[in-house]
Amino acid sequence: MMGRFLSHWGIATRLLVIAVLPASIMFVSVTATLSGLAQRDVRRDVAARGQLVATALAQSSQYGLVSGNTAYLRTTLRHMLEADPSIACIAIADAVARPVVSDCQVSKPTEVESFEVPIRIESLPQVDQFEPVPTPSGEGAWRTVGSVRVTMSPAPIFESKRRALLVAFALVLAAAVVSCLIGLRLARRLRDILGSVMSALRDIRQGRFDVQLATDHEGELGELQRTIVQMASTLDASRHDLEQQVAKRTQQLQEAVDLARQADADKRRLIVRSNALVEEERRRIALDIHDHLGAALISVRLEASALVARARACGDAEMQGDAARIAAAAQSIYATTRDIVKRLRPEVIDTLGLAGAVEELVRHADQVHPAARFTFQVDPGFPDVRGELAMPAYRVAQEALNNIAKHSDATLTTVTLSVLPETGHLRMVIQDNGRGFDTRSPRSTGIGLIGMRERVAAVGGELLVSSTPGQGTTVCVTLPLPAGQ
C-alpha cells in the first residue's frame, strides 16, 4: 500500500522529503526532549526545596510557636516567601492543627504540591540532684507542638527557565532551518543533474544520440554522466554501422529485385513470343493439313465415289462396297482433320470474336458430352475482343473445358464472360459442379494449369483456380482490356 503510494512520487518530491523530513523530525524530537527534561528537573527541584524549607521552618519556629511569638513567626514566613517565589503558601499550625500563622504569594498558582513537617520540641529530662534517673537514650523525649505546611508551585521556576528554553528552541529551529536549506540546495542540485540525465536518456530512447550532457561531476554522478555520453556515442556508431549495412543490403536487394523484375519481364516477353510462335506454327500446320491433307482426302473421297459409280455400272457389288467404305473413311478422316484444323487455328476468333469463339467451344463440348450440360452466358455490353488478346482467354477456356471433361465428372458447367465495372477488365469464369480437387497438391504432373497461368500472366492478367474436393472447381480469369475496348 505504502510502496504503491510512494511509487507515484517523482524525484523532486522524494528529494524534498529527504531534505525537509529529517530536519523537521530533529526539531520536534529535540524540543520535546528539552521541554520534558526541563519540566522534570524543575519538579524535582521544587520538591527538594519544599521539603527543605518545611524542615528548616519546623526547626526554626519551635520556640516562636511554644512562646506564642506569632510576630516573629509571621516575619519569618514573609521573608521566606519573598526569598523564594516558588513557595506558594506557608502555614504553621499548633499541636491540634489549629492555624497559628500563614502567608501566601499574591498570585494564585494552579499547579501546587504541599510538604508538611511536624514541629517537635525536646522535653528536658527531670534532673534529681541526689539520684539522677537517666532516660534510656540519655536524651530528653520529643513532643510535637505543631506543624509546618509548605505549598510549592513550579510555575515561577518554569517562568524563569522559559526564556532559556525559548533560546534553546530558537537555536534548534535555526539548526533545523539551516539543515533544511542545505538539504534543499543539495536536493535541487541532484534534481537538476538527474533531470539532465533523464532528458539525455529520453533523447537516446527517441533515437537522438548527439546528447548534450555536462560531465563535470566527480564520483558516481560524474560516472553516470560519462557512462551515458559514452553509451550514446557507442549507440550512434552502431546505428551508423547498421544504417550502412542496411543501405548496402537494401541496395543488393534492390539490385536483386531489379534483376528478378528484369528476368520476369524477359520471361513474359519470351512466353508472349513463344506463344505467338506456337500460334504461328499451329496456323502453318493447320494450313498444311487443310491445303494438302484436306485436299488429298477430298480427292480420295471423290475418286472412291467415282469408283463406286463405276462398280455399280459394272455390277461389281464387291468393288462398289469397298469403294463406298474408302469414300466413307476418307470423309471421316476429312472431318477429323477439319476438327484438328479448327483446334489448331481457331479462325472462329477472327470471324466471331472471343465471345462467339468461346460460345462455340461450349456448344461443341455440350454436343460431345451428352451426359453433362455446358452453358454459356455473356454480359450484354461485352466488347468485341479479337486477335492477340482474345487468344490467351480462348486457350484458357479450351484447357479448362478439357480438364472438366477429363477430370471432373461434372453434370453442369457454366462459362460466363463479363467486364468488371470498377476496372474495366475482362472476366471469364468457368465453373463446374464436379468432384473438385485440392489445389495445394494437385496429383497430376500435367502442365495445363501452369500453361493457363503463364499465358494469362504474360499479358498482365490474373488466374485464380479455386476448388475443394467434392465441391466443384472454379477457374476465374481477369485480363486487362486495351483502352477503347
Least separation in angstroms between residue 388's CB and ligand ATP is 23
Which residue's CB is nearer to ligand ATP, number 125 or number 442? 442
- Angle at 412 (CA atoms; ends 409, 418), nearest 5 degrees: 125
Site for ligand ATP in 423-462 (CB under 6 A): 432, 434-437, 442-444, 446-449
AA identity, residue 469: P
Task: Name the closest residue to ligand ATP (Cβ).
Answer: 446
Least separation in angstroms between residue 336's CB and Mg ion is 21
Pairing state of beta strands 426-432 and 142-152?
unpaired
Does 408 sit near ligand ATP (CB under 6 A)?
A: yes
Nine-digit cell string for 444: 497430376
Least separation in angstroms between residue 414's CB and ligand ATP is 12
Which residue's CB is nearer to ligand ATP, number 146 or number 436? 436
Q: Which does 454 bind (CB under 5 to 8 A by kind): ligand ATP, Mg ion, none?
A: none
Please pick, from the candidates 403, 417, 426, 455, the single residue that binds ligand ATP as defined by CB under 6 A: 403
**201: nearest Cα among 223, 183, 225:** 225
Rounded Cα distance, 283 and 276, in Å: 10
Q: Are 390 and 353 in contact (CB under 8 A)?
A: yes
Q: Which does 461 bind (CB under 5 to 8 A by kind): ligand ATP, Mg ion, none?
A: none
Name the phi and psi angles at 377, rounded to 5.
-130, 140
Least separation in angstroms between residue 468's CB and ligand ATP is 11
Which residue's CB is nearer to Mg ion, number 356 or number 448? 448
Distances (CA, A) of 131 to 8, 123, 127, 136, 140: 101, 19, 8, 15, 17
Q: Which does 437 bind (CB under 5 to 8 A by kind): ligand ATP, Mg ion, none?
A: ligand ATP
Segment contacting ligand ATP by CB under 6 A, of 19-27, 252-260, 398-406, 414-422: 398-406
Least separation in angstroms between residue 444's CB and Mg ion is 7
Please pick, from the candidates 226, 240, 273, 406, the single residue that binds ligand ATP as defined by CB under 6 A: 406
Cβ-Cβ contacts under 8 Å for 466 (sequence gap 6 or more): 439, 473, 474, 476
Q: Which does 440 bind (CB under 5 to 8 A by kind): ligand ATP, Mg ion, none?
A: none
Count of CB atoms within 10 A of residue 465's CB?
18
AA identity, residue 389: L
Least separation in angstroms between residue 265's CB and ligand ATP is 25
Q: Which residue has the cell 480427292?
A: 299
DSSP 8-state secondary structure symbol assigned to residue 435? -
Q: Which does 118 bind (CB under 5 to 8 A by kind): Mg ion, ligand ATP, none?
A: none
Least separation in angstroms between residue 474's CB and Mg ion is 16
- Angle at 312 (CA atoms; ends 311, 316), nearest 5 degrees: 55
Does 209 sit near ligand ATP (CB under 6 A)?
A: no
DSSP 8-state secondary structure symbol assigned to residue 279? H
Instruction: Please report, as ranges, the residues that interact with ligand ATP according to CB under 6 A.
Output: 403-404, 406-408, 432, 434-437, 442-444, 446-449, 473
